[in-house]
Structures are given as C-alpha cells and as structure tokens.
Structure 1
Amino acid sequence: MKKLLYLFMFLYLGTWGELSAQMLLFKGTFEEALKKAQAEKKDLFVDFYADWCGPCKIMADNIFTRQEVGKYFNSNFVCVQVNVEAGENKVLTKKYNVTALPTMVFISRNGKEMRRIQGAVSPEDLIQNGKIALGEALSFEQLYEKYKKEKNDFTIQQQLLIEAPRFIATQSGYNRQKWGSRIESLFPEYCKNKKLENMINGTDFYILTLYHPQAEKEDPIFDFVTKNYKRFADSVDKPTIFSYLVSLNNGYIIRSCRKGDLSYKERLKRVSGDLKDIYSEFSFGTLSAQEATTLLADATYNLYRHNEDLFFENMNKYYSGKGELVEWGDYAQALEDLAIVFEGKMSKNAYMKCIPWISKALEMNIDAETRTRLLMMLGDCLKNTGNKEKAKQTYNQAFLTCTQIVNKMQAKQLQEIIQQTLKEL
C-alpha cells in the first residue's frame, strides 16, 4: 500500500512540476485576479488578447509556456488573460488604453499601470520587462540617464549597447531616430575610451558584431581583431571569430565588386596574406581559399557589369571545385543576385543556365517553403525557355509542396501566386 502511495505522490508531483513550469494563468475575471494579487501581496500581469490575433497566440503557445517565464512570473505576479472582444471587458480595455494586440500590462495590486509591452517579445524581453516593472532592473531610459551621470562606467555603456537593438526596435518615428543617433555615437566613444586592447573578451566582441557588421577600406577594428585573432579565439571561440572576420572581408570584396571598384583585387590578396590562417579553417573542395574567393568576386564583378557569360563561367568553376561541399544556399545566392541585377528579366541563355543549378538545389535537404520557391523559379526558367508544358507541371508541383509549409498564411500567399501564374501560361 505504501509503495502505491509513493508511486501516486511521485506521479502527482511530477505532473504538477510540469504544469508549474509554465506561466499559470488565473481562471477568473480581472477583478477576481486583482483580489488574489492583493491577498498574495503580488502584482498583476495582464495579457490583453483576441482569438483572431496571431502574435497573441504566439505569446500564449510559445512564450508563456517557457519554463524560465513560468518560474519568474508565477513567483512575482498573478497572471490573467483578458479577451478584448468580450462585452464585459470593454470598460477595462478602454481604461488601460489597449489600442494594439497583444498588449501586456503590468498592474500594481492597487490597480495602477506599472509598465506595458505591445507586440510579441522574446522570453528574455518579457522577463526583463517584469523586472523593470518591479524595480529589480533599470529601464533603458533610466540606464541612459545613469550613463550621463557616470560616463566613465564602462559596465553601464556595455549594457546600453547590448540592450539598444531590442529597445530601439520597440520605438517609432522621432523616438526611434533619437535613440538610434544616441547609440550610434556611443559605440565609437566606447571603443575610443575603453581602447580595443581592453576589449578582447566575449561581451565586447558581441558588441563589435552588433555595431561593426561590415569592414571599411581603412578599418582599425577589423585589422585589430585580425592581428589578435588568437587572443580573441581564446576568449570567445575560434569558429565564431573566424566566421566574423571572413564575413567582414568577403562582404567588403562583394560590395566593391558590385560598385565596379577594381580595388577588390587588392583586398583579395589578404586571403593568402594576413588572413591565410583564418581562411584555412574553411574547406572549398579542390579549390584553395584564394581561388574560391577570387572566383566568387570575379563572378560578382562581371554580373554587375551585365557580363552574364563570365558570371556563369566563374560560378560553374566555383561549384565544380567545391564539389560535394556545395550547399543549396550557394545556388540560391547566385540566383538571387541574378534576379536583382536583371530585375527578373533575364536572357533566354541565362534562364537556360539556371535550370541545372535549381535542379541540383532541389536534390538537397531543404524545407518546404524553400523547395516551393525553388520550384517556382524552375517553372519561370522553363516557361522563359519555351518549355511551357514542363513549366506547368513544375508549378503544379510547387502548389502541392505548399501544403507542407508550416506557416499557412505564407502557404496561401504562394499558392495564389502560383495559381495566377498558371492562368497566364
């Protein structure tokens, strides 16, 4: 009998533990939730929602159910949902000025608003807003005021720079412009005063990735990280540092090629120069890093000069040399570049040469939406090379593949485009 009792307790506690791992939503009215909050000496977290609201469902299904969210909110708030379309909630919705959904309001136990969030947010942002509402953390505005009084405190500056992208994303109009300008000027000031040699750590490297996402012709930050990549690798990790540097260098080369700036050839020399050890971490099949990067650069330069034959020649050499290491993204990038340069109106020769690329990409492991879009592109190529019957079959295949897309709204939009295309064939 005792064994059965212990087993029951184990199963009960295990189930209760799973349930308590998510936000517990009070089943009752707002007024009843407020009384419960007063009795438990907690504050209220109110989720104003509607059944038709997609972002509301995302919060309810994907964010409120997270363990870290449940742990924090169950300890500090009585949480309740309010359907704004229910007649009995109209006065409450007006009182708290709910004009967009979802709106989540932190309300003190005496009914006063403490803080609000509009729109879907991440678990981290939700918890951070809860801490700000309770006075456990400073709001971004408060943090900035503190920085103005303590301009030599690098910890405050770090926090501002890290939190800024999320905060600015919630602003609009003049406020977004104002805060964007403030943070834009803070980053170079931070680097200048702290000095790059004191920024060889994980937190500061993350800040560099946020505010120095592309290399310039004369670039002290890029050169410093390159020179000290081993020290950065020890503080962060080698793949992250190497990917950052290669991304910056390749990005600079590609931008130069697009502009028709032949100085990209000088920049290419760094691939087998001071960046040699870094590029050696990446495999390009039978090609050396220098050969692979040069082929991609030359292909881009010629494409943006509308020399499509040299573009295809260089890209095919790149794919051939990379061999089995070619990924669907390699083809997709080239196809996207073609569409941008020729504004969707390529020559018959170009359409013909794209068909093998798309066919090879379709043989790879890709998600339903990507497969659908590739099939649509293949249909376009077939249509524009005169093979209308095969194009029709390909569009129909794309239509069927749409049914496997998780985002049903996206699937419907693509199916409508495909149906219109089929009508025009």
Structure 2
Amino acid sequence: MIQETLRKGFVLGAGLLLSISSFAQKGIAFETGTFAQVLEKSKQTGKPIFMDAYTTWCGPCKAMARSVFTNDTVAAYYNKNFVCYKSDMEKGEGLDLAKKYEVRAYPNLLYISAEGNILHRVAGFRNASDFVKLGQTALNPDARFEAIKKQYEAASNEAAKASAYMLALADAALPYEKVSENYFNSITETEFTTPSNWEIIKNLEENLNSKVFQYFIKNRDKYASLYGKESVEKRINQVYLQALERTVERTPEAYDKLFAEYSALNLAKDKETDMTLIQLELVVLKHKQNWAKYDEVASNLVSKYISKNAYALNSIAWDAYEHISDAKVMAKAEQWAASSCKISPEYANLDTYACILFKNGKSALAKKTAQEAIAKGKKAGEDTAETEALLAKINDKLKVKK
C-alpha cells in the first residue's frame, strides 16, 4: 500500500513536473546569451535565426510578445524552424545590433543566416497568421528580402524589379528614395507614363523634388487622361500633405511657401485631405500664437470632422488650456474636453478635463474629475504624478474658499 501510494505520488509528481515544463515553454522559446552564441547555435542546428528587435517603450512590440509569440501555432512553427532570439535595441549588445542591421522602427522582425547576413526583414506588428506566413517567406530563397535585393541589383532598370525592392525596403522601414532616383534616372522621360511606372509613382514615390515627381506634376493632365483625374490628384494631394506635415513642425517659415505652391495647383480635395489641411493650419497658428484665429479654425474642425474623435478633441482642448485665457474660448475647450471624456473616459482625457475645469473656476467638479483620472491612470499603469499635483492645488483652492 505504501509502495503503491509512493508510486502514485511519483506519477503525480512527474505529471506536475511535465505540466510546469510545458507551461514554462509556452510560446516561442527565445534563446538567452549573446548574439555570438546564437549564431553558433544556428550553425550547429542548420536553422536560420529569427530576431525580435524591440524596445521597452514600443506598444506593438509588447502586443506581439503578449499575443503573438505566445500563440501555439506560432510557437510550434518558429521553434521548429528557427533559432529564436530577442534583443532590446537600446541596451547593451542591442545598440550594436541596431547599427549593424539598420533598425529604424519597432518591432523589427529580422531573419538572419548563421553567418549573420539578413535573409528577410519587416517592421511593424504582425498578427499570428501573418507572422507564420512571414516565417514561411523567410525560408523561401526565391521570395525573401535577400532574393528581391539580388534580383533588383541584377536588373535595376526594370520597373518590376525596382518596384519590388522599393516595396521590400518600405516594409522594412528602410529608405528607398535612392533606389527610385537611380531607377528613373536609368530610363527616358517618355517611359515615365507607362502603367508599371505609374504604379511606382502612385504607391511609392514621395519626394516632391525628384525628377519623376516634378515631371508628374507638370504633366498631370497627361497622366489624368491615362489613369483618371481623381487618382492623379489624390496622389499629388498625398505627397504634398506628407511634405507639409514634415515641414510644419521643423521649419514653419518654409511651410507658407510650400503651402502657396500646393494651393496654386488648385486640386480637388476629399474630406480626409480637407481635415488634414485644417489640422495643419492649427499647428501653424499655434506656432504663430494666433489664438483668436486658432479658436475659429478649431471650432470649424470640431463641427466638420472630429466631434466624435476623443483623441482629436482632447488634443485641441489641451492646446487651448495651455495657451488661451479668453473665457469664451475656454468655455468651448471645456465642452471639447467633456465630449472627449464622454466618448472615451480614459486617463489622458480626464486629466485634460480636470485641468480645464480648474482653470475655468469649477474646482468642485475639477476635484471629482481629477480623482477619477488618477484612479483610471493607476489602474492602467500610467504615471499620475502631474494629476496628483493638480489635485493638491484644487484642494488648496477649496480650503481657501471655506
């Protein structure tokens, strides 16, 4: 009986150990140790390396670690076919790896040979299904990044090869402007309007000052006759808006010149374009500290486009809080912040609303809102120190009133 009990106990213990072992190995089994050791294991096993290049502040990185790398199908595929490794690109050895592999965006999903060469790469979140497909592509010597690059280098004046390589670079968050420039410099301008080259212009060319884009703008009527006016004007709008967005924050003085150039084209604008232009105007007005005009434009933006967008409402309400003292404008800002909280009562929105209420002299409601913001923030793991400091000021104000 004792032996039987011991035997049962042993079996139960073994089962428990198996259960613990299985739990510990749930998800992708990432290697520990140095990258050199991972390369050595790749040589020994004959498996290429998958490296998750991440940072601690990257939300999509955390999402992949939480819901993709732990997926059973993903784990089975990657543990079978790759030596898996992860490295923080802002710490220790990760700093050198980031330079070596030109990591510019996160998460960066790298597939590396045992010799340390890139086989395949992409940047950005992938769901479980797409992540498995990504691994399959990395194992396909004819379809992966390495192959696309070699095919381009062997025939850099072919539209299909140049386009495929530019797309691969874009998907990896790597610059591809030079590839586009070299390609269009290798062909004649009469070829710029072919269907394959229109696809490159429509989907990839983003340099306003490039030879091909300047040709495109000057000959937009010709492109419109071939591919439709709406598509042509949509692409010009997209590229100009991207340039305006880059310019408005860095060199607001140059923005006015670029905007005048854009306006002279007199393009048709869809709702998305119109909304972006209004938002850009708000940034310009903020730089110029023209708060009276800011109020007018912000009110127009709310009524036309963002009355149900909590993030956008919170953003313009906060700008008003920081820069405007006019009572009428602050009353509007209070409404914007209140609407933002009604749509999405999260920490940032509640914090803005509490600040505006306090500024508008509504201390009792400001206190209640600040307390709610702090509770929501702590639950979400946010740093609530500034809201707690605000609450202290509100309490002091209420004490004085008593």
TM-score (norm 1): 0.53
Asked if the contact 2:374/2:384 (under 8 Å) is kept, the reply is yes
Of 355, 359, 367, the match for 2:334: 355
2: CA distance, partners of 1:315 / 1:198 = 41
1: CA distance, partners of 2:150 / 2:162 = 11
Percent identity, please.
11
Q: Could you tell me which amino acid in structure 1 is paired with residue 349 of structure 2?
A: L
1:311 aligns with 294
Alpha carbons of 1:397 and 1:219: their partners in 2 closer, same or farther (altered >3 Å)? farther
1: CA distance, partners of 2:214 / 2:393 = 51
Asked if the contact 1:106/1:130 (under 8 Å) is kept, the reply is no
2: CA distance, partners of 1:293 / 1:82 = 41
2:203 aligns with 206
Q: Which runs of 5+ in 1 are unaligned?
A: 1-23, 30-40, 85-98, 170-179
2: CA distance, partners of 1:82 / 1:296 = 42
Aligned 1:170-185 pairs, distance under 5 A: 180=175, 183-185=176-178
Asked if the contact 1:46/1:80 (under 8 Å) is kept, the reply is yes
Asked if the contact 2:309/2:340 (under 8 Å) is kept, the reply is yes
Q: Which runs of 5+ in 2 are unaligned?
A: 1-25, 32-44, 88-96, 99-106, 395-402
Asked if the contact 2:123/2:172 (under 8 Å) is kept, the reply is no
Report the alpha carbon displacement of residue 329 of structure 1 after superposing the two structures with TM.
5.5
Report the alpha carbon displacement of residue 138 of structure 1 after superposing the two structures with TM.
4.6
Alpha carbons of 1:105 and 1:25: their partners in 2 closer, same or farther (altered >3 Å)? farther
1: CA distance, partners of 2:279 / 2:51 = 50
Asked if the contact 1:268/1:294 (under 8 Å) is kept, the reply is no
2:4 aligns with none
1: CA distance, partners of 2:210 / 2:297 = 25
Of 118, 135, 138, the match for 2:141: 135
Asked if the contact 1:131/1:137 (under 8 Å) is kept, the reply is yes
2: CA distance, partners of 1:242 / 1:329 = 29
Report the alpha carbon displacement of residue 312 of structure 1 after superposing the two structures with TM.
1.0
Aligned 1:42-57 pairs, distance under 5 A: 55=61
Q: Could you tell me which amino acid in structure 2 is paired with residue 309 of structure 1?
A: A
Q: Could you tell me which amino acid in structure 2 is paired with residue 282 of structure 1?
A: K
Q: Could you tell me which amino acid in structure 2 is paired with residue 422 of structure 1?
A: L
Alignment partner of 1:150 is 2:132: no
2:382 aligns with 413
Alpha carbons of 1:402 and 1:60: their partners in 2 closer, same or farther (altered >3 Å)? closer
Alpha carbons of 1:163 and 1:46: their partners in 2 closer, same or farther (altered >3 Å)? closer
Report the alpha carbon displacement of residue 161 of structure 1 after superposing the two structures with TM.
0.8
Report the alpha carbon displacement of residue 64 of structure 1 after superposing the two structures with TM.
6.5
2: CA distance, partners of 1:391 / 1:357 = 15
Of 230, 252, 271, the match for 1:282: 271
Report the alpha carbon displacement of residue 399 of structure 1 after superposing the two structures with TM.
3.0
Alignment partner of 1:331 is 2:313: yes
Asked if the contact 1:399/1:418 (under 8 Å) is kept, the reply is yes
Number of residue pairs matched by the alignment: 325
Alpha carbons of 1:60 and 1:316: their partners in 2 closer, same or farther (altered >3 Å)? closer
Alignment partner of 1:261 is 2:295: no
Please report the RMSD computed on the Cα atoms of aligned residues, expressed in angstroms. Answer: 5.7
Alpha carbons of 1:146 and 1:402: their partners in 2 closer, same or farther (altered >3 Å)? same
2: CA distance, partners of 1:267 / 1:385 = 40
1: CA distance, partners of 2:199 / 2:183 = 16
